């Protein structure tokens, strides 16, 4: 395998830092050549000093001069502002763009990376949730691979190797159930953001951890799976599997099921995406069946955790609806973390926004931006009204 130059969009977040660990453990295979951060300039500077990339971007321009000065003696180009993200993904030496930005912000840079014919290692699922049709079409036109970093989708991608798409009967996404598995609405009314941030199996960023607690993460993953693998909503099942050992499964037309298993560690799907189609050795801990006591499964509770039901509805409606769902969700998660609203209000506000925003059947990139703004504004107003 030739050494691959990687642009990591969002290098200071949870996926970004784990990607750098993978790069560090395979210096002969991977080089981190572009690093970007939204606000965490201190870590970005440390990373740049260690990994010696060709370019860094600090999206918040307030920190530009600090980063520039700290890296004055290095051979690193320093850029500021979100527009720079769309430029650095086009640097000719870059082979793979790993998109680990949070939420809607990942869409435009990913769009530009595909146009520049870079392979995409996709950790930012919101890009496909919002504009899956647009992105997958563009990837096809440009003959670009979209390699999932999300553990469930990496599992399905691996199960599909060597199989024909006509043979797929359904995809079975596993969900840990998060910290509130088995709880009822009375319990959920009073949970705090601190309770919600205690994920039992995975260590992740704040936004995705809240999404996991509310099952919105699984809803977004259903939409992501639809676009990545070209299967309909009715062919995508969710099963709760609290141990997070089976990362997902594919059921074929003869009834046979393939699963991908492993310890819950994001470095594995990250490494698989970066090295694809090669499998690369590593020293990560191995799953030991002798110490594994049980693997259990249960049905997801979509009445209590209505976000999953809303996501299926958004996927079935199509067009701009998943964009509205995503925008409203980003606002309510921020408001919940800010202690402005309760846990159950998140779903109520998302549902209200989905009803109120005008539907667009075939939005282009600009229309998505407009709908994203409208939806956010609507949800913010609705939160304000609730508080008065
Ligand atoms: Mg996942």
Q: Provide the CATH number for the domain around residue 330.
A: 1.10.1740.10
Q: Which residues pair with 8 in a beta bridge?
A: 35, 98
| Phi, psi at 26, each rounded to 5° | -135, 60
Share of the chain above pLDDT 70, in %: 100
Rounded to the nearest integer, the mean pLDDT of the chain is 96
Residue 113 has pLDDT above 80, yes or no: yes
**pLDDT tier for residue 330 given thresholds of 50, 70 and 90:** very high
Residue 277 counted as domain residue: no
**Whole-angstrom Cα distance, residue 160 to residue 170?**
11
CB 228 within 8 A of CB 135: no
Q: Which residues surround ligand 1, an ion (CB under 5 A)?
A: 150-152
152 alpha carbon – ligand 1 mean position (Å): 5
113 alpha carbon – ligand 1 mean position (Å): 23
Number of domains in the chain: 3
pLDDT for the residue 5:
98
180 alpha carbon – ligand 1 mean position (Å): 17
75 alpha carbon – ligand 1 mean position (Å): 36
**Whole-angstrom Cα distance, residue 127 to residue 196?**
24
CB 204 within 8 A of CB 123: no
81 alpha carbon – ligand 1 mean position (Å): 29
384 alpha carbon – ligand 1 mean position (Å): 31
* Residue 240 sits in the same domain as residue 331: no
305 alpha carbon – ligand 1 mean position (Å): 17
Share of the chain above pLDDT 90, in %: 94
pLDDT tens digits for range 315-326: 999 999 999 999
65 alpha carbon – ligand 1 mean position (Å): 36
Residue 203 has pLDDT above 80, yes or no: no
**Whole-angstrom Cα distance, residue 161 to residue 156?**
9
- Whether a cis peptide bond, with omega within 30° of 0, leads into 277 is yes
pLDDT for the residue 60:
96
Domain holding 301, by residue range, is: 164-262+295-315
**Whole-angstrom Cα distance, residue 269 to residue 274?**
9
Q: Which of 379, 336, 76, 348 is nearest to 209 (CA)?
A: 336
Average pLDDT of the segment spanning 121-148: 95
Residue 253 has pLDDT above 90, yes or no: yes
245 alpha carbon – ligand 1 mean position (Å): 12
* Residue 121 sits in the same domain as residue 177: no
- pTM equals 0.95
33 alpha carbon – ligand 1 mean position (Å): 26
**Whole-angstrom Cα distance, residue 287 to residue 297?**
19
pLDDT tens digits for range 258-293: 999 999 999 999 999 999 999 999 999 999 999 998
* Residue 218 sits in the same domain as residue 124: no
**pLDDT tier for residue 200 given thresholds of 50, 70 and 90:** confident
* Residue 308 sits in the same domain as residue 325: no
* Residue 194 sits in the same domain as residue 330: no
Which domain-ending residue is among 148, 182, 209? Answer: 148
Average pLDDT of the segment spanning 193-210: 86
Residue 199 counted as domain residue: yes
């Amino acid at each position: 395998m030739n050494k691959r130059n990687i642009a990591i969009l969002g290098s200071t977040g949870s996926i970004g830092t784990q990607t750098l660990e993978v790069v560090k453990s395979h210096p002969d295979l991977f080089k981190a050549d572009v690093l970007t951060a939204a606000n965490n300039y201190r870590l970005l500077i440390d990373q740049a000093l260690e990994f010696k990339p060709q370019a860094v971007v600090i999206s918040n321009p307030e920190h530009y001069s600090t980063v520039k000065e700290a890296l004055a003696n290095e051979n690193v180009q320093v850029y500021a502002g979100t527009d720079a993200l769309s430029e650095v993904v086009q640097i000719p030496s870059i082979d793979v763009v790993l998109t680990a930005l949070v939420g809607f912000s990942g869409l435009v840079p990913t769009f530009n990376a595909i146009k520049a014919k870079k392979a995409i290692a996709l950790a930012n699922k919101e890009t496909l949730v919002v504009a899956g049709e647009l992105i997958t079409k563009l990837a096809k036109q440009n003959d670009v691979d979209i390699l999932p970093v999300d553990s469930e989708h990496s599992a399905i991608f691996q199960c599909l190797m060597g199989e024909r798409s006509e043979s797929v009967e359904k995809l079975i996404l596993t969900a840990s159930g998060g910290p509130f598995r088995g709880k009822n609405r009375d319990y959920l009314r009073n949970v705090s953001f601190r309770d919600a941030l205690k994920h039992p199996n995975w260590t992740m960023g704040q936004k995705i951890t809240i999404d996991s607690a509310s099952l919105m993460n699984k809803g977004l993953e259903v939409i992501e799976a639809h676009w990545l693998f070209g299967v309909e909503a009715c062919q995508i099942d969710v099963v709760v599997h609290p141990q997070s050992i089976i990362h997902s499964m594919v059921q074929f037309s003869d009834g046979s099921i393939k699963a991908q298993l492993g310890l819950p560690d994001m470095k594995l799907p990250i490494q698989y995406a970066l090295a694809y189609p090669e499998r690369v050795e590593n020293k990560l801990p191995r799953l030991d069946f002798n110490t594994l006591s049980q693997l259990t499964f249960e049905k997801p509770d979509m009445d209590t955790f209505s976000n999953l039901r809303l996501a299926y509805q958004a996927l079935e409606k199509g067009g701009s609806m998943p964009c509205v769902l995503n925008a409203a969700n980003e606002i309510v998660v921020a408001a919940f973390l800010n202690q402005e609203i309760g846990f159950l209000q998140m779903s109520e506000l998302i549902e209200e926004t989905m009803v109120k925003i005008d539907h667009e059947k075939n939005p282009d990139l600009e229309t998505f931006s407009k709908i994203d703004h409208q939806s956010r504004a609507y949800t913010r107003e609705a939160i304000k009204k609730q508080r008065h």
